């Protein structure tokens, strides 16, 4: 390649390193990469917790905004992803608490809503609905652990860091949640036969 007359070349040693693994990482570029790589997975995680796509998208968007606001303090992109996961879980919890308050207030003013129709178009859809229904019956911590473990395929250490609990607590919640989920699903399929 020829050199453009009058153009100055920047020696490679003077070009700033924009890789997210260095101390001088470019926070905006790293955040864009995190967004592109993890947006859908974080939305799906939140959907598993709050059961609403619109709310989940808002939660994840707010988490990215929060990371962007703190980007000058984050020096490692791995910390940004961990912070994002934790923010999504915490904001999902807040949304559930708010929803519970709204439901209690609405229950005082109106009769309870009717049960959804059970006319599922296929067996696969019925199974998926049964699993989601059973997940909703689990205590929130068990649901969070199972969603992080089996949906995002996080390790016990990553789950413990995300939820702010010990690895032993992760194991305990996963074990109890799995056992309860199996029981709930067994009862559901016995009722259908």
Q: Is residue 125 part of a domain?
A: yes
Instruction: Answer yes or no: is 148 within a domain.
Output: yes
Q: Which among 81, 25, 88 has a CA at the least distance from the CA of 61? A: 88
Residue 2 within any structural domain of the chain: no
Query: Rounded to the nearest 5°, which phi and psi values hold at 80?
Result: -65, -40
**Does 123 share its domain with 183?**
yes
CA distance linking residue 73 with residue 83, whole number of Å? 12
Same domain, 64 and 135: no
Same domain, 129 and 90: no
* Phi-psi group of 5: left, alpha or beta (phi > 0 → left; psi -120 to 50 → alpha; rest → beta): beta
CA–centroid distance for 70 within its chain:
19
Question: Which tokens hold the place of 174?
Answer: 């996963």
Percent of the chain at pLDDT exceeding 90: 43
Q: Is residue 58 one of the residues assigned to a domain?
A: yes
Q: Do 135 and 146 contact (CB within 8 A), yes or no?
A: yes
Shared domain for 99 and 128, answered yes or no, is: no
The pLDDT assigned to 115 comes to: 54
Question: Final residue of a domain: which of 96, 113, 130?
Answer: 113
> Which CATH number do you get for residue 79?
1.10.1740
Residue 6 has pLDDT above 50, yes or no: no
Do 146 and 138 touch, CB atoms closer than 8 A?
A: yes
Query: Which residues have a Cβ under 8 Å from the Cβ of 139 and sit 6 or more positions away?
Result: 177
138 shares its domain with 159: yes
Q: Tell me how far apart the alpha carbons of residues 124 and 91 are, in angstroms, rounded to a whole number.
A: 31
Same domain assignment for residues 90 and 137: no
Q: What is the pLDDT of residues 67-85, one digit of tens each?
A: 888 777 766 666 788 889 9
Question: 89 is in which domain, residue-wise?
Answer: 19-113
Residues 160 and 93 in one domain: no
Dihedral sign (CA 68, 71, 74, 75) = positive
Which pLDDT tens digit goes with each residue over 117-136?
555 456 777 788 888 888 88
More confident call, 184 vs 165 = 165
Mean pLDDT, the chain, whole residue set:
79
Q: Do 141 and 98 fall within a single domain?
A: no
First to last CA, the chain: 73
Does residue 13 form part of some domain?
A: no
Domain shared by 144 and 156, yes or no: yes
pLDDT digits (tens, 9 = 90+) for 14-67: 334 444 444 445 778 888 888 999 999 999 999 999 999 999 999 999 999 988
Q: Within a domain: residue 101? A: yes
Q: How far apart are CA 101 and CA 77, in angstroms?
A: 36
pLDDT of 91: 95
In this structure, the answer to whether residues 62 and 97 fall within a common structural domain is yes
């Amino acid at each position: 390649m020829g050199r453009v007359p009058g153009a100055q070349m920047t020696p490679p040693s003077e070009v700033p390193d924009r890789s997210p693994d260095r101390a001088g990482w470019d926070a905006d570029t790293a955040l864009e990469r995190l967004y592109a790589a993890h947006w859908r997975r974080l939305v799906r995680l939140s959907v598993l917790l709050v059961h609403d796509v619109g709310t989940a998208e808002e939660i994840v968007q707010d988490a990215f905004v929060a990371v962007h606001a703190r980007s000058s303090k984050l020096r490692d992109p791995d910390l940004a992803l961990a912070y994002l996961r934790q923010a999504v879980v915490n904001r999902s919890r807040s949304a559930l608490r708010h929803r519970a308050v709204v439901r209690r207030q609405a229950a005082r003013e109106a009769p309870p809503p009717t049960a959804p129709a059970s006319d599922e178009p296929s067996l696969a859809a019925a199974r998926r609905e049964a699993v989601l229904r059973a997940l909703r019956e689990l205590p929130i911590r068990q649901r969070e652990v199972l969603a992080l473990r089996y949906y995002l395929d996080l390790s016990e250490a990553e789950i413990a860091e995300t939820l702010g609990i010990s690895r032993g607590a992760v194991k305990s919640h996963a074990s109890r949640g799995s056992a309860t989920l199996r029981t709930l699903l067994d009862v559901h399929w016995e009722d259908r036969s």
